[in-house]
Amino acid sequence: MRRSGPHWTVCAGFITAALAIAQEPTKDLVTFIRDAQNAGLNERQIVDNAVEAGWPPALVKNAVASAKTPASGNPPEAGPAVKGASSVKGASNDPAEPLGTPDPRETSSAARADKTLPSVNRGVRDDYVIGEGDVLNISVWKEPDASVPSAVVRPDGKISMAMLKEVPVSGLTPAEAETLITDQLRKFISSPDVTVIVSAINSKRIYVIGGVKKEGPIPYTYRMTALQALSEAGGLTDYAKKNKIYVLRHENGRDRQIRFNYDAVLRGERVEMNVLLLPGDTVVVPK
pLDDT tens per residue across span 71-126: 444 444 444 443 344 444 444 444 333 334 344 334 333 333 343 334 678 878 88
Whether residues 219 and 281 share a domain: the answer is yes
Whether residues 187 and 214 share a domain: the answer is no
pLDDT value for 123? 79
Task: Indicate whether 121 belongs to any domain.
Answer: no
**Which of 180, 200, 220 marks a domain boundary?**
200
Compute the distance between CA of residue 256 and CA of residue 218 in angstroms, rounded to an integer: 20
Residue 130 near residue 171, CB atoms below 8 Å: yes
CATH number of the domain residue 225 falls in: 3.10.560.10
pLDDT value for 66? 75
Whether residues 196 and 211 share a domain: the answer is no
Across 211-270, where does the E strand assignment appear? 216-219, 245-251, 254-260
Task: Indicate whether 139 belongs to any domain.
Answer: yes
Could you tell me which residues are beta bridge partners of residue 15?
none
Amino acid residing at 65: A
Q: For the segment 176-229, what is each residue's pLDDT rounded down to a tens digit?
A: 999 999 999 999 999 999 999 999 988 999 999 999 999 999 988 788 999 999
pLDDT value for 30? 76
pLDDT value for 108? 37
Whether residues 193 and 228 share a domain: the answer is no
Task: Indicate whether 72 belongs to any domain.
Answer: yes
Count how many domains the chain has: 3
Confidence of residue 5 (pLDDT cuts 50, 70, 90): low
pLDDT value for 192? 95
Whether residues 93 and 15 share a domain: the answer is yes
Q: Tell me, letter by letter, the H, E, C secondary structure of 118-185.
A: CCCCCCCCCCCCCCCCCEEEEEECCCCCCCEEEEECCCCCEEEECCCEEEECCCCCHHHHHHHHHHHH
Task: Indicate whether 128 belongs to any domain.
Answer: no
Task: Indicate whether 189 belongs to any domain.
Answer: yes
Q: Which class for 196: exposed (0-12), middle (13-18), buried (19 or more C-beta within 10 A)?
A: buried
Q: Does the structure show a pLDDT above 60 at 7? A: no
Residue 224 near residue 274, CB atoms below 8 Å: no
Which has the closest alpha carbon to 219: 134, 136, 147? 134
Compute the distance between CA of residue 134 and CA of residue 136 in angstroms, rounded to an integer: 7
**Which of 179, 200, 221 marks a domain boundary?**
200
Longest dimension (CA), the chain: 99
Instruction: Give the structural domain span for 85.
Output: 6-99+108-113
Q: What's the pTM value of the predicted model, to 2 decimals?
A: 0.47
How far from each other are the two terminal CA atoms of the chain, in whole angstroms? 97
